[in-house]
A = this chain, B = another copy of it.
Amino acid sequence: MSATNTVFIGKKPVMNYVLACLTLYQNGANEVTIKARGRSISTAVDTAEILRKRFSTDVQVKEIRIDTEQVKDSETGATSNVSSIEILLKK
């Protein structure tokens, strides 16, 4: 799977990310990975659920991985742990 088939979830409205996934499928992708960290994790789940329940009923959750990433604060230099999620969706 190429890196271009990944949608990173941030703080935008959830429909932006649903649209990003739909665009990837439209361009011929079979698998799309949704990635998020910290508070955006719930938006990642929202994106996957809206996509497969409302738009593409042929999209299925293939795998969900959770992990911990170390994030370094650019101002203080302190590192902190943040949870992350990867939701792999296939058509």
Contact = CB atoms under 8 A, between A and B. Distances in A.
Given A64-B66, A66-B64, A83 B49 contact: yes
A29 B40 CA distance: 31
Chain A interface bracket (under 10, 10 to 19, 20 to 34, 35 or more): 20 to 34
Contact of A49 (B46, B49, B53, B67): B67
A80 to B, nearest CB: 12
B66 A87 contact: yes
A18 interface: no
A45 B68 CA distance: 9
A82 to B, nearest CB: 9
A65 B52 CA distance: 14
